[in-house]
Structure 1
Amino acid sequence: MGNKLVTFSEQQLDNYQDCTFFTRKEILRVHKKYREIRPDLVPKRMRKNEQATIRIPVEDITEKLPELHENPFKKRICEVFSRDGKGNLSFEDILDLLSVFSEQAPRDIKVFYAFRIYDFDNDKHIGPEDLDNALILLMRQELTPEDRQQIIEKVIEEADVDGDGKLSYMEFEHVITRAPDFLSTFHIRI
């Protein structure tokens, strides 16, 4: 038993458990998945601040992380959760990402991150351009620009309570509460 490799200290595991919706075993499983994406870059035993400073490029994450591979928002999801804003993820970034998408994460956390993912221009509103970007990703170019414009107008007409032509977080949250199926797609199993 003396040759067992310790990935994290007890204190690190306690801290990660306190900051996520994961058990210790799930945290170690996430680290294993993370390391498998780029074993040449991520050591088995992380020292000092490596869990926050070693970043795997977004291209590797979106291509090799099975939980994101088929998601049309995969690049945007990585951008939202990366501390560098470019989608390159540290272990702590990916731990946050997978924790928010876990079944244990509360609804309000999921709504908050869903809003951030849809807010492509990061202006704290979901405007027509954000909705257009989402439709392009979701429909994979199957809609004409005219069809997308019609959908965008309808969404804003239905959800824009204050009439400013865009959705605030509160308006977005109100729409999501009326569409419970939306958050059922916001799960990843570890």
Structure 2
Amino acid sequence: MANSMSFLLLLSLLAFAPLCLCNPNLQFYNNSCPQAQLIVKSILTSYFVFHPGYAAQILSLHFHDYFGCDGSVLLDSSESIVNEKESNNDRDSLRGFIRECPSTVSCADILTIAASDSVVLTGGPSWLVSLGRRDSRDASISGSNNNIPASNCTFQILQTKFEQQGLNITDLVALSGILLKLCLCLESF
């Protein structure tokens, strides 16, 4: 059961890859920050010892950000923006935000690495992670409200929102099933 769940999760995450039009590559930080992936994995490894259930939350955070692939879901509100964390569809589902990121590695890439490592560290499959996404400097609460499916939306609304992002019914079933399963597992803790 866990292996089939991990496989569906991997397929679902890979389905989002075409949505990110930023030309990422595997060696993006080789010269500027060669330890980037090891640093993220080390932090997650020590954190998951005490909080293994947070892997699902990191994956959910990555799912919400992948509609833009720009880390904007991590931004805090300021005088000029209302962050996406205040979105009706994100308010209760996004936790654990980064307040500062090094000027070299983007928050979007840190989140991508963390999502991949979260799957691996909790027994799922591994895959190569392309890096090089750039962080957004603004967030769109209206974009989040309009594009991210709410937890209580109907199947028809969910299907429409997925189609607007170039995803099909197979993607919808795989992601919804995985997220539902993860939520049910977390509720039992």
TM-score range, shorter chain: under 0.3
Higher relative contact order (CA 8 A, sep 6+): 2
The answer to which structure has the higher helix fraction is 1
Normalised by the length of structure 1, the TM-score is 0.24
Normalised by the length of structure 2, the TM-score is 0.24
